[in-house]
Amino acid sequence: MPLDRLVLILFIVICAAGATIWLAAIVMASFTLPFGMVALIPALLVIYVLWRVIADRLRSGEDDHYDRMD
């Protein structure tokens, strides 16, 4: 991958992360939520991602190592 493309991708990712944090700060400032609710949002996202990974591995026929045994 050319260096200029890599730098462009990194720049876009950093700008997107900054915009996301800025937007989240504006949204969180407009609501008065207890700290537990704020911490619950990332925890739910992590649980959702883990659930999808586990479900995909359980349903995938390509990952079944026991089918390849003699």
pLDDT greater than 60 at residue 70: no
* 38 and 25 in a common domain: no
Domain enclosing residue 15, as ranges: 1-32
1 exposure class (CB count in 10 Å sphere: 0-12, 13-18, 19+): exposed
User: To the nearest whole percent, how much of the chain has pLDDT over 90?
Assistant: 34
* 41 and 28 in a common domain: no
* 38 and 27 in a common domain: no
* Helices and strands (H, E) in the chain, number of each type: 2, 0
Backbone angles phi, psi at 33, to 5 degrees: -110, 145
Report how many domains make up the chain: 2
Residue 54: its pLDDT value, please?
Answer: 87
| Of 10-14, 21-25, 36-40, 51-55, the least confident | 36-40
| Of 6-10, 22-26, 49-53, 63-67, the least confident | 63-67
CA nearest to 42, candidates 60, 63, 28, 26: 28
